[in-house]
Structure 1
Amino acid sequence: MDSWSHILRLLVIVVAVVIPSSEQISVDGGRDRRATQLDDALEFLTDYNSTAEMVYSASSFASWAYSTNITDYNQMKEVEASLKAAAFSKSSAMRAREFDDVIETFPEDVQRLLGSISDIGVSALDNDTVQEYNEIMGEMNKIYSSTPVCRADDPSECLNLEPGLGNIMATSTDWDELVWAWKGFRDAVGIPNKPLFARYVEIANQGAVANGYEDLGDSWRSGYGDDLEDQAYELYNAILPLYKQLHAYVRRKLNGVHGSEHVPLTGHMPANVLGDMWGRFWTNIYPHVVPYPDLPNIDVSDEMVRQNYTVCKMARMADEFYSSMGLFPANDEFWENSMLERPDGRDVVCHASAWDFYNRVDFRIKMCTEVNMDYFLTLHHELGHIQYYMNYKHQPVSFRGGANGAFHEAIGEVMSQSVATPKHLKEVGLFDGEDDPTDVTDTDINFLLKMALPTIGTLPFSLALEQWRWDVFSGKTDVNAGTARWWQLKNDLIGVKAPVDRTEDDFEAGAMYHIIISYPFIGYYIRTIIQFQFYQSLCQSASHTGPLHKCDFYRSTEAGEKLAAMLSMGSSRPWPEAMEALTGQREMKADAILEYFQPLMEWLEKTNTENGDVIGWESPTVTTQESTTAGGPSALGNASLWMMCLFAVISSIIHGY
C-alpha cells in the first residue's frame, strides 16, 4: 500500500471515531449523511490516485518517446495516450463534481484535491475536440522542432534552430546574418503555426470556460490570486529604474558592435542583437558588454573546454551540488534514461526540460547539452525540477506540482544563481580571479552585470509576452491581427523593436516554444522575482555574511533542510504558506532582487551619467494595468476546527515520508 492510500484509510478511521454516532445526531439527520459522503470522497480519492499514476505515466512515456524521436508514428501514439488521459480526467472530474453540494463541509485538503481533479482544462470537452486539440499541439511542436531554414543563395544549406540558428544568434556580430536567422526562423516556423494557433486559442478557451473561467488567461492567473495583473505591474515598476539603466548601458555597448545605423544610442534596441532568437535572455552578449574585460572571465566556458569537461561531468557536478546540501541524489533511472545530448540520426525537441513520469521512480532530463557555462547552469536548473519531483513524490498526484506556477522555475534558478558566483566557481576549480568576501570589487561588477542580463533583462520580456497572450485569450487582440499589439508591447515594456518591417502576415508568437506548447509564461516572470527571495532565505540559513550577491550555499545542509521542507509540500498548501515556510514572507516582493543588484545599480548610474546616455526610450512608461482579473471559481469554505487540526497532523505525516 502506498503512503497516500495508507493516510487516506487512516483518515477514514479517524473520521469514524471523531464524528458522533447516528444515535447521538438523530436530531440532525444530515450529519451522518455528510459523514458517509466524506467516506465516499476519501475512497474516490484513493482509487483516483492509484489509477492516475498509471494513466499519466503512460501519457508521459508516450510524450517522451515523441519528443526524443519525432516521427509520425510516435506522434500518433502520443495523441492516443493523451486521449486516454483526457478521458480519465473527464470521468474523474465528473465524479469529483458529485460532491459539489457538500464539499464545503469537507476538510481543506480534501477540498483542494477535489477542486484540482475537477479542473481539467481542455479534457472537459468532447472527445473529437480533445483529439483535434492534441493533434494541433503535436503539429505546432513538430513545425517548431523540425523545420529547417535554408539560405536563399544556397538552398542546400539548411539549419535547424538548435544548434545552427541558435549559434548564429548567440555568437554572430554580422548584422545581415542575424537578420537572416531571425527573420528566416519566423518565416519558416511562425507563419505556418498561425492558423493552428488560432484554432488552439478557440479550443483552449472553450476548455477554460467549461471549468468555470472566463478564458484561458483567467485560468492561468487564478493560481496567483485575484490581483495578479496589478501585482505584475507593481513589480515591473519596482525594477524599471534598474532595467532602464541596464538597457542604456547595453545599448551603448551594442552600438559599438553594430554601429549607429543598426543600434542607435537613443531609443529602442533591435531585438535580433540580444543573444538569442527571441531577445529573451541576454546572456550571450556578455563578451560585448563586460565592464572590465581584462579581468579573469566570469564566464568559464573556455576554462571548461580547457579542462576537457564532458556533458556527463557537467551533469554529475550539478547532481553533486544538490546532494552536498543533503538533498536527494539523482537515481539510477535518471542516469539510464535521460537524454543529455542530441542523438544522431533523428529529430528531437532540444528545448531543455525535466520530466516526472508519475511512478515515483522515473525522473528525467531532456537536453541537447553542449560544453559551456550556459548549459552548465541549465543542468543545475533542470535538476532543480528533478529535486522538486523527488521531494513531493509521496504526495497524491493532484499535489505533485509547484506551490504555484512560478515555484518550480524559481528553485532551479536559485541553484544556478549560487553556482554562478565566483566563490562557487573557485570552489570547483573553474575560476582563479579575486573573490573578496566583503568588498565590492571590479570582479563583482562583472559578475553582477552577467547575472543581470538573464534576470533583469528578461523581466519585461516575460511580462510583454504574457500580456499579449492574455489579450488574445480575452478577445482584445485577434490572432490574425496581433502583430501590431505584439510590437507595441515590445516597444513600450521592453524598449526593443523589430529589426525589419513586420506586417499582419507575420506571426511572431508561433516561433516561441512556450507559446506553442501552451505554457503559462507568467511563471517565468514571477519566478525571477521570488528566486531572489528564496536565495536570500537560503543564504541566511547558510549563515552567509557580506553582500548578498556573494553568497554560495553549496554544502550547506542547513539550507538544504529548509529547502526540502518546502519542496515536500508540493502544491498541497496555498502558495503563500509555501513561501512563508521558506522565506518567512507571504508575498512576492522586489526587495531581495533590488538588494542583490544594488552595487550594480550604483555603478550603472555612475557609468551612464559619465557617458551622457539618455535613459529609457520614447514609449510611455506603463504604470498600471487597467483590465481586471475575474479570477477562478470561488474559494472553498473552511473546514471545522477539529478537521483543521486533524489535517495539520496528517500533513506533517505526509511531509515526513
Structure 2
Amino acid sequence: MNANKGATVLHLILIAFYTRYACADDHFKMGVNTNAAEAMQFLREYDREASGMCYRVTLSQWKFVTNITEHNRRRMAEELALSSKFERLSWRKAAAFDVSRVPDPQARRQLMKIVQSSRAALPEDKFTELQQLISEMKEIYNSAKICPFGQKPYDPHVPKVGYLGAEKQEDDRNYPGHQQYKLTNQPYQHYQPYQDNAEYPNYCDMQLDPEITRILAHSRIESELLYVWKSFRDQTGPKLKNSFMRYVQLTNQAAVDTGFRDAGEQMRAAYEDPSFRASAEEVYNQVAPLYKQLHAHVRRRLLQRYSSHGLRADGPIPAHLLGNMWAQNWKSIMDLVMPFPSSPSLDVTSEMLRQGFTPLRMFQMAEEFYTSMGLKALPPEFWRASLLARPQRAGVQCTASAWDFCNRIDYRIKQCTEVSMQDLVSTHHEMAHIQYYLHYAEQPQLFRDGANPAFHEAVANAATLSVYNAPHLQRLGLYNNKSHDQYEVSMNFLMAMALEKVAYLPFAFMVDQWRWSVFEDGVQDMNARWWQMKLRYQGVIPPIPRTEADFDPGSKYHIISDQEYVKYFLATVLEFQIFEQMCRAAGHAGHLHECDVHRSRDAGRLLSEIMQAGSSKPASEIIRTMTRGKTNRISPEAIVKYFRPLELWLRVQNREEPVVGWNSNADDVKLFAPLRAAAISRTASAILLIVCIANQLLL
C-alpha cells in the first residue's frame, strides 16, 4: 500500500467514524406511516390513555408504600404489568410513523419522546426478562444484611445476640416492613453484644439504612468502618454481577433496535445535545479546582485522625473514611474538618422544638414560602390525602417523596416528618416538586416533566438554597447569632454545604461515565474501571484490594435499578445557576450564599417561567430565557461564585500542602489490579479492526 493511498483510506475511515458518532444523537429509526392526521389522532388518544394508566399505577404504588401488605404488593404488580403492556403497544404505534413527515413540531417532539425513551423495541420475551431482571436486582440489593462489627454470622446453636443501648422501632424509610434499631441517647455508639434469647432472633440483621449508614457517619473506629464498608459490598456486588451483565446485553439490544449505538447513547438522547459528553466534561473541569481544594483540606484533617491507615499527604483518600458508603457526601465528617469548631453550625432544630413546631406547621410554612413569591397555593386534595407525619400503624415506607397522580387534581407528599432543621429543608424541597407539577399541569402528559432529566431536582434544590441560610432563618425568627463571629459562622456553613454539594460532584459525574463505558466497551474489567474512574475524578481509592470477583458498582442502588445518574451531577450545578438568577431577579446584592428570595414576586415569576413549559421545550431554550439570553447551557459559574469565600479560605489553609489534588502511585493502582494483558488485547483488537476495514476499502 503506498503512502498516499494509505492516507486516503485512513481519511475515509475517520470520516465514517465521525459521521457515525456526530450524527447518532439526532438519529433513530423511523416508520413508514406518513399520515399526519393519524399521528395527531394517536397522540390525542395516547394523552388520555396514558394519563389514566399513570393515575392507576401511581395510586397502586401510593397504597403499597403507605400500607405495605401482600395484597397491595400484588395490586401494584398487576398495574405495573398492565403499564408495561401499554408501553409496548404505544411504542409500536408511535414507531410506525415517519416523524419527519409530521408538520406540527410539538407532535414530532411527543412522538420522539415515546420512541426514544423506551426499551419496547425488544421482543416481548426479552422485554419481560429485562423488567424481571431489574426487579430481581432491586430485591437482592434491598435484602442485603450484615452482622454487627466483631460478631460472627448467626448460629442457631448459640444464644442469640442483641444490641446494647438499642431500642426497637419501625424505621421504613427505604426498607418497608423491616424491624430496625434506633440507638438511644447518643446519635451513635458502638454496637456491643449482650445475651437475649427472646427479643432478637437474628442479630445479623443490619441493613444499609439506618444501621450501616449511621456507623459510617458517626464511628471513628477505622476497623469498624472498614468492616461495614467491605461487608455491604460482599452482600451486594458478587450476587448482582451476572444479572447486571445480562442487563447490559438486553439494554444495549433495545437501544440498537431503536436506532442508537448503545444504551448509553439512548440515555443521553434526553438531553438533546449532540455534544453532551463533551459539555458535561467541560462543566466538571470547571468545578474540579474547587473540589481539589476541598479534597486537600479534608485529607489533611483525616491524616490527623487516621495517621496510619493508608493516607498520604499527597495521595488519594481511602473511601471508607469519608462518612458515606460511596464517598459521595462528606457531611458526616464535619466534626473532623470544621473550619472553626468553637463557632456553631447553622442548625435551628432546638429552636424549632422550643417554639413547638409540628409537621403540619412546617408544611404550612413551606407553602407560604412559595405563595409569598406569587406561586400557586396547594389544592385541598393535597392536605386531605398527603402523609405528612409518621402514622401509628406499621408498614409505611417513609422515604420523602412528592407525587403527581397525573389527573391535574391530586398531588401529594409522603414524608414521616420530624421536627428538625433537616426535615424543614426537605419539606421545602418536596413542596418545590409539587409546585413544578402544578405549573406544568396543563401540558400534555408527555410534557409533564422537567425540561431535561436534571431540571426537577435542580429547581427543588434551588429553592432550598434560600431556606437553608442565616438571613432566611433570622426572618423566620429561628436564628439569632449575636454571640459568635459572623465570618466564622459563614465559613462553617459553607464548609457543611461544600461537603454535601461540592464533594458530590465528581462522584455524580463518574457513575455514568463508568456505565457508558460498560455499554460501549463491554463487561470486562468492570470493577477495575470503576476504581480507575473513582481515582481519576474523586481522588478516592479502595481501603483494601479489589478484584473482578467483586462488583463494587453494584453497591450503588441507582446502577442496579436502571436509574441514570448524570442528571444529579447536572442538577447540582444547575441549582446554583437557577438560584443566582432568582437572586438577581430579587435584587440581592452581596454574597450569593446569603441570598433569600422569600417574598420576592420577581424571583417567583422567573421560577414560574422555568416550570410552566415542562419538557415541551428543549432545556437550552429554558436556560436562555432564564438567563435573559446570556447563555443556553448549564454553567458552573454560579456554584463557583457561591463557594468563593470558602475557596479563598481553603487556599490559605492549603498553602503548605505538597499537592492540591492527589498523586497516585503503583501501590494505589495495585489495589484494584487492572488487567494489563486484557487492556493490551483490546487495543490490539481495535487496531486489527481498523486494518481490516482499510483492507476492505482497498479491495
Q: TM-score, normalised by structure 2?
A: 0.77
Contact kept, 8 Å, 2:145 with 2:204, in 1: the verdict is: no
2:245 is matched with 198
Q: Aligned partner of 1:589: which letter?
A: S
Q: How does 1:635-646 map to 2 (within 5 A)?
A: none
Q: CA deviation at 1:69?
A: 5.5
Report percent identity of matched pairs: 40
Aligned with 2:39 (options 34, 38, 41) = 41
Q: CA deviation at 1:394?
A: 1.0
Q: Secondary structure at the match of 1:354?
A: strand
1:570 is matched with 614
2:335 is matched with 287
* Aligned equivalents of 1:70, 1:201: Cα separation in 2: 31
Q: CA deviation at 1:54?
A: 0.8
* Aligned equivalents of 1:616, 1:56: Cα separation in 2: 47
Q: CA deviation at 1:552?
A: 1.0
Aligned with 1:396 (options 444, 447, 451) = 444
Instruction: Give the stretch that moved more between structures: 195-204 or 367-376.
Output: 367-376
* Aligned equivalents of 1:561, 1:420: Cα separation in 2: 21
2:144 is matched with 147
Q: Aligned partner of 1:80: which letter?
A: E
Aligned with 1:467 (options 513, 523, 530) = 513
Instruction: Give the stretch that moved more between structures: 286-295 or 313-322.
Output: 313-322
User: Deviation string for 1:36-86 (max 9, x for gaps)?
Assistant: 943333222211111111112222233344445566655544343223222
1:483 matched to 2:531: no
1:328 is matched with 376
Instruction: Give the stretch that moved more between structures: 114-123 or 574-583.
Output: 114-123
1:528 matched to 2:572: yes
Q: CA deviation at 1:333?
A: 3.4
1:580 matched to 2:624: yes
Indicate how the Cα distance of structure 1 residues 201 and 338 shifts in structure 2: closer, same or farther if over 3 A, else same.
farther
Contact kept, 8 Å, 1:539 with 1:559, in 2: the verdict is: yes
1:261 matched to 2:309: yes
1:383 is matched with 431
Indicate how the Cα distance of structure 1 residues 259 and 565 shifts in structure 2: closer, same or farther if over 3 A, else same.
same
1:246 matched to 2:294: yes
* Aligned equivalents of 1:174, 1:335: Cα separation in 2: 45
Q: Aligned partner of 2:572: which letter?
A: T
2:596 is matched with 552
Q: Aligned partner of 2:567: which letter?
A: G
Q: Secondary structure at the match of 1:42?
A: helix
Aligned with 1:136 (options 122, 133, 138) = 133
Q: Aligned partner of 2:663: which letter?
A: E
Q: CA deviation at 1:314?
A: 3.6
User: Deviation string for 1:108-164 (max 9, x for gaps)?
Assistant: 111111211223522332333333222222232233334332233455252222222
* Aligned equivalents of 2:119, 2:489: Cα separation in 1: 50
Q: CA deviation at 1:587?
A: 1.2
1:3 is matched with none
Q: CA deviation at 1:269?
A: 1.2
1:118 matched to 2:115: yes
Q: Secondary structure at the match of 1:149?
A: coil
Q: CA deviation at 1:241?
A: 1.2
Q: Secondary structure at the match of 2:615?
A: coil
* Aligned equivalents of 2:81, 2:47: Cα separation in 1: 19
Contact kept, 8 Å, 1:86 with 1:130, in 2: the verdict is: no
* Aligned equivalents of 1:603, 1:334: Cα separation in 2: 45
User: Deviation string for 1:338-377 (max 9, x for gaps)?
Assistant: 4455667756655543332212222333445554433432
Indicate how the Cα distance of structure 1 residues 277 and 526 shifts in structure 2: closer, same or farther if over 3 A, else same.
same
Q: CA deviation at 1:287?
A: 2.7
Q: Aligned partner of 2:576: which letter?
A: F
Q: CA deviation at 1:557?
A: 1.8
Indicate how the Cα distance of structure 1 residues 346 and 189 shifts in structure 2: closer, same or farther if over 3 A, else same.
farther
Contact kept, 8 Å, 2:116 with 2:266, in 1: the verdict is: no
1:107 matched to 2:152: no
Indicate how the Cα distance of structure 1 residues 120 and 379 shifts in structure 2: closer, same or farther if over 3 A, else same.
same
Contact kept, 8 Å, 1:121 with 1:204, in 2: the verdict is: no
1:231 matched to 2:279: yes
Instruction: Give the stretch that moved more between structures: 298-307 or 229-238.
Output: 298-307
Instruction: Give the stretch that moved more between structures: 183-192 or 68-77.
Output: 68-77
User: Deviation string for 1:224-283 (max 9, x for gaps)?
Assistant: 211111112111111111111100111122223333435443311122222322221222
* Aligned equivalents of 1:96, 1:473: Cα separation in 2: 26
1:214 matched to 2:261: yes
Contact kept, 8 Å, 1:83 with 1:127, in 2: the verdict is: no
Q: CA deviation at 1:449?
A: 1.6
* Aligned equivalents of 1:477, 1:110: Cα separation in 2: 38
1:93 matched to 2:99: no
Q: Aligned partner of 2:500: which letter?
A: P
Indicate how the Cα distance of structure 1 residues 293 and 565 shifts in structure 2: closer, same or farther if over 3 A, else same.
same
Indicate how the Cα distance of structure 1 residues 506 and 379 shifts in structure 2: closer, same or farther if over 3 A, else same.
farther
User: Deviation string for 1:572-625 (max 9, x for gaps)?
Assistant: 01111111222222112222222222221111101111x5453111149xxxxx
Indicate how the Cα distance of structure 1 residues 432 and 440 shifts in structure 2: closer, same or farther if over 3 A, else same.
closer
* Aligned equivalents of 1:178, 1:311: Cα separation in 2: 34
Aligned with 1:84 (options 70, 82, 85) = 82
Contact kept, 8 Å, 1:301 with 1:371, in 2: the verdict is: yes
1:359 matched to 2:419: no
* Aligned equivalents of 2:264, 2:618: Cα separation in 1: 20
Q: Aligned partner of 1:188: which letter?
A: Q
Q: Aligned partner of 2:559: which letter?
A: I
* Aligned equivalents of 1:309, 1:189: Cα separation in 2: 40
Q: Secondary structure at the match of 2:451?
A: coil
Indicate how the Cα distance of structure 1 residues 150 and 318 shifts in structure 2: closer, same or farther if over 3 A, else same.
farther
Q: Aligned partner of 2:44: which letter?
A: T
Indicate how the Cα distance of structure 1 residues 505 and 338 shifts in structure 2: closer, same or farther if over 3 A, else same.
farther
* Aligned equivalents of 1:588, 1:177: Cα separation in 2: 41
Contact kept, 8 Å, 1:93 with 1:119, in 2: the verdict is: no
1:188 matched to 2:188: no
Contact kept, 8 Å, 1:311 with 1:371, in 2: the verdict is: yes
2:54 is matched with 56
User: Deviation string for 1:202-232 (max 9, x for gaps)?
Assistant: 2222222232212221111122211111112
Contact kept, 8 Å, 1:410 with 1:530, in 2: the verdict is: yes
2:220 is matched with 173
1:276 is matched with 324
Contact kept, 8 Å, 2:592 with 2:641, in 1: the verdict is: yes
Q: Aligned partner of 2:296: which letter?
A: A
Contact kept, 8 Å, 1:243 with 1:456, in 2: the verdict is: yes
* Aligned equivalents of 2:390, 2:316: Cα separation in 1: 36
1:409 matched to 2:409: no
Q: Aligned partner of 2:47: which letter?
A: N
2:652 is matched with 606
* Aligned equivalents of 2:331, 2:89: Cα separation in 1: 46
User: Deviation string for 1:159-202 (max 9, x for gaps)?
Assistant: 22222222222222222222232222222233323333222222
Contact kept, 8 Å, 1:137 with 1:517, in 2: the verdict is: yes
Instruction: Give the stretch that moved more between structures: 336-345 or 228-237.
Output: 336-345
Indicate how the Cα distance of structure 1 residues 43 and 132 shifts in structure 2: closer, same or farther if over 3 A, else same.
same
Q: Secondary structure at the match of 1:519?
A: coil
1:433 is matched with 481
Indicate how the Cα distance of structure 1 residues 472 and 300 shifts in structure 2: closer, same or farther if over 3 A, else same.
farther
Indicate how the Cα distance of structure 1 residues 477 and 309 shifts in structure 2: closer, same or farther if over 3 A, else same.
farther
Instruction: Give the stretch that moved more between structures: 440-449 or 246-255.
Output: 440-449
Q: Aligned partner of 1:228: which letter?
A: F
Contact kept, 8 Å, 1:96 with 1:117, in 2: the verdict is: yes
Contact kept, 8 Å, 2:117 with 2:266, in 1: the verdict is: no
* Aligned equivalents of 1:143, 1:508: Cα separation in 2: 15
Indicate how the Cα distance of structure 1 residues 285 and 313 shifts in structure 2: closer, same or farther if over 3 A, else same.
farther
